[in-house]
Every structure is written in C-alpha cells, then in structure tokens.
Amino acid sequence: MKIGFIGLGNMGGPMAVNLAKAGHDVTGFDVAGVTADGATVAASAVEAATDADVVITMLPNGGILRAVANEVIPAMKAGAVLLDCSTVDVESARDVAAQASDAGLGALDAPVSGGIGGAAGGTLTFMVGGSDDAFAIAKPLFDIMGQKAVHCGEAGNGQAAKICNNMILGVTMIGTCEAFALADKLGLSREAMFDVVSTSSGYSWSMNAYCPAPGVGPASPADNDYKPGFAAELMLKDLRLSQQAAQGADADTPLGEAATALYTTFVEDEDGKGRDFSAMLPRFEKRSRS
C-alpha cells in the first residue's frame, strides 16, 4: 500500500519503520522534523496524505488530531482510510470519523497498548473503532505493526476501550503499590508478598507482569530506577480522558476519579513527571497515614 504517516515520535517512528520494512511505500511527516528509516520524507502533512491508500496519524491529543484532519482530509483520495492511532477523547475521534465519512473516506480510531517496546517490536495491541470495510483494509497493516487488533465496533469505540482499560490499569497499579507499602510496614517480605498475590485472588497485570517492586517478579521499569516504560504523565492523560468520558456519559467512577487525583498530585506536585507510572510505590513508601 501507499501509506502516509503523520507523527513520527517515540511510537509513530518505529511503527512507520516496520511498515516500510514490510515493503509498503511509506511517506512520513513530523512537525519536529524527525524521520523514520525507510520512509520518504514529506514537507507537510498534506504532502504525506496525497494519493495515500491509508493515512496513519499518531498525535498527542484530540485538538491536534482535529487540526491535522482539517488539513489532510481534503487532500486524501476517495476511498482512502484515515487511521488514527493516537489516544484522544472519544468525542474528537467520533467527530473526525464523521468528517472523513462525509468526504468519502474510511476512518478508524485505533489507539494502542504495548508502549515503545511494542512499537519497535511490532507487538502492539490495537483497539479499533470504525466500519467493517475500513477495518478490512487496515488489517494487514495491524498485522505488521502489532500482534493483535480487536474491532470494538463503531467510531470512537477504540478510544472507549483504551481509556476503560487504562482506568483499570491506573486503579490496580495504585492498589498494588499501596499493598506493597503496607506489607513492608507489616514486616512481610516483598518476595513473599509477590509469591502469594501473584498466584491468588490479588492476581493482576500490575502485579504479575509489571511488578512495581524492584527485584521481584519479571523485569520491569522498577528494576531500572523507574525509567518509564509507560510514563506517569501518560497515565494521567489517559485517566483524565476516562473522567472526561465518564462525565459526558453520566457514569459514576469514584475509583477512576481517585486515581486521577493521585496521579495529578504525583505528576504535578511531586516527583512523578518523567518516571514510570509504577513509581507510585516509592511514593507510598515515604508516606505515613496522617
């Protein structure tokens, strides 16, 4: 396929490289001027989108997505697919999809899970909203960039799945970190804590695959001084999106709200910015109940 790729940062760059390695004709553009190996460099987003079969975007937020969509949709050929892999608010995803549809284009919102390592290794999971026809066109590209693509239904449902998943992740990571800090003060070793919880009812991805305690369980950012695999500020972004969506849907999410407040404090008032989201554990270690 002829692919336009807009947004070649830490996630988009490796994704574009994998598509080019697989033999696709990739033209890339990034406002910061970064490039991707194997991709032709475009001078603008419009140039990258012109004549492309699929235009992929990986952008920071919904406002930027809307701005880029306003630029590229008029330049895209009829029947092409706008595939947005950013994590943005559901409303922006649905509005851009409607705008693309009105222009005779397919549209998919397909946020990812798997982080920078998954982008480089082609092992991302895509949560996809949009039409069956557009999903069928993009499916071969998902197979190159990732290990799994789940079609979640109509436009915006990919974003809905992502923010619901990451609300669970934020809540469970806080609970896991709180429990380790409590175990420390009760005199329970971290290894014993892990051995019990990882094989009993406290089992979770936060404990078993991404343990926040260094030296316990599989290797995780905790073993690398909490250098980010998934930065705390990105978790905060996703939690805020979850609460924006909850407000719009009139959904009661008290734990999601509490997790958002804790990560806000951690990132904006403490030392969380630039650290992995599991660095909540050393935060709780230093705190008392009062």
pLDDT in tens, 63-84: 999 999 999 999 999 999 999 9
Q: Which helix (H) or strand (E) holds 107?
A: strand 106-109
What's the confidence (pLDDT) of residue 290?
A: 74
Question: Along the 290 residues of the chain, how does pLDDT read in single tens digits?
Answer: 999 999 999 999 999 999 999 999 999 999 999 999 999 999 999 999 999 999 999 999 999 999 999 999 999 999 999 999 999 999 999 999 999 999 999 999 999 998 888 999 999 999 999 999 999 999 999 999 999 999 999 999 999 999 999 999 999 999 999 999 999 999 999 999 999 999 999 999 999 999 999 999 999 999 999 999 899 999 999 999 999 999 999 999 999 999 999 999 999 999 999 999 999 999 999 999 87
CA distance 41 to 45: 10
Cα 61 from chain centroid (whole Å): 11
pLDDT tens figures, 226-266: 999 899 999 999 999 999 999 999 999 999 999 999 999 99
What's the confidence (pLDDT) of residue 216?
A: 96
User: In terms of C-beta density within 10 A (0-12 exposed, 13-18 middle, 19 or more buried), how is residue 219 classed?
Assistant: exposed
Question: Minimal CA–CA distance to 284: which of 193, 174, 199, 190?
Answer: 174
Angle of helix 157-186 relative to helix 90-102, nearest 10 degrees?
A: 160
The residue assigned the tokens 């603008």 is 44
Check if the beta carbon of residue 148 is closer than 8 Å to that of residue 125.
yes
How do beta strands 124-130 and 106-109 pair? antiparallel
What end-to-end distance do the CA atoms of the chain give, in Å?
60
Residues forming the active site: 162
CA distance 165 to 79: 31
